[in-house]
Structure 1
Amino acid sequence: MTNERREPAKDADERTMLEGWVEYHRQTLALKCEGLTDAQLRTASVAPSALSLMGLVRHMADVERSWYRRVLADEDAGPIHYSDDDLDGDFRVTEADTWQEVHATWQAEIEAARRNAAGFPLDEPTRGRHRRTGERYTLRWIHTHMIEEYARHNGHADLIRERLDGATGD
């Protein structure tokens, strides 16, 4: 795997630091998927789990959408890959799912996230509310949560990738 990620500058201001770490972890997940076939990307980690790299990317597209579009910007943007009847639908991939489609959807949500976060104050309450708790957050909290969310799932991606072809790395 190639490594084109860059950590934020050690002396960056807070906003640049937070955005830099979110980007770093987005790039990490992309690197874990790089060079694999659709079949490999759909391959579950280990029975009985259905967790796959493609499922992780689908999940992160929905997470990006939820926090940056619905909560931050109060956009009317429903779930992409899951529903109230199947809350884990984002992780369930089928033969019909392709990397091209899944990657394009994820990248579109990342672009929407960047657009909605641009210029939004770190400490101002979000325009929308969390759909389950009804709470408002701040962009600082959302960025910090996204770093945690990506970091956790990148650990999963590490193990799945190593199982698929032996590739390791942070």
Structure 2
Amino acid sequence: MPLLHYSDDDPDLDFNDTDGEPGEAAAAWCREVEWSRRIVDAASLEDTGVRRRTGTQVSLRTVLVQMMAEYARHNGHADLLRERLDGTTGM
């Protein structure tokens, strides 16, 4: 699958190209999620690939754990922003 938010010419494309509609971004995210689920369903957690930047081997298990941590961080950031907006903490 082609990279959507990265190119050798503009590695920060995800931050530099902010044109477009939110609905388009949500639809692209949904397509990426579906594609990722197919990959995970067809693979073993011990299957390995090569990191693009370093060329080192990495297991699918490691990638999934890192993605869970990344999502948790983003959810925490969103919660901090929400707390600043509405003045409440917790749920």
TM range (shorter): 0.7 to 0.9
Residue 55 of structure 1: aligned partner: none
Offset from partner CA, 1:71-124 (integer Å, 9 cap, x none): xxxxxx332123334333213454x42111000000100000000000411112
1:155 aligns with 2:76: yes
Paired position in structure 2 for 1:135: 56
2:33 pairs with one of 110, 119, 122: 110
Identity of aligned pairs, percent?
46
Determine helix, strand or coil for the equivalent of 1:161.
helix
Shift of 1:168: 5.8
Q: What TM-score does the superposition give when structure 2 sets the normalisation length? A: 0.77
- 1:87 and 2:17 matched: no
Structure 1 segments unaligned to the other structure (5+ residues): 1-76
Q: Structure 1's 83 and 119: CA in aligned 2 closer, same or farther, altered over 3 A?
A: closer
Q: TM-score, normalised by structure 1?
A: 0.45
Deviation per CA, 1:26-82: give whole Å up to 9, x if none: xxxxxxxxxxxxxxxxxxxxxxxxxxxxxxxxxxxxxxxxxxxxxxxxxxx332123
State how far apart, in whole Å, the 2-side matches of 1:149 and 1:109 are: 16
Q: 1:120 aligns with which of 14, 19, 43?
A: 43
The answer for unaligned runs of 5 or more in structure 2 is none
Secondary structure of the corresponding residue to residue 137 of structure 1: strand
* Count of residue pairs brought into register by the alignment: 90
Which amino acid in structure 2 is aligned with residue 120 of structure 1? A
State the partner residue of 1:100. Answer: 23
Summarize the Cα distance change of 1:93–1:168 in structure 2 as closer, same or farther, 3 Å threshold: farther
Letter in 2 for 1:80: L
Aligned to 1:145: 66
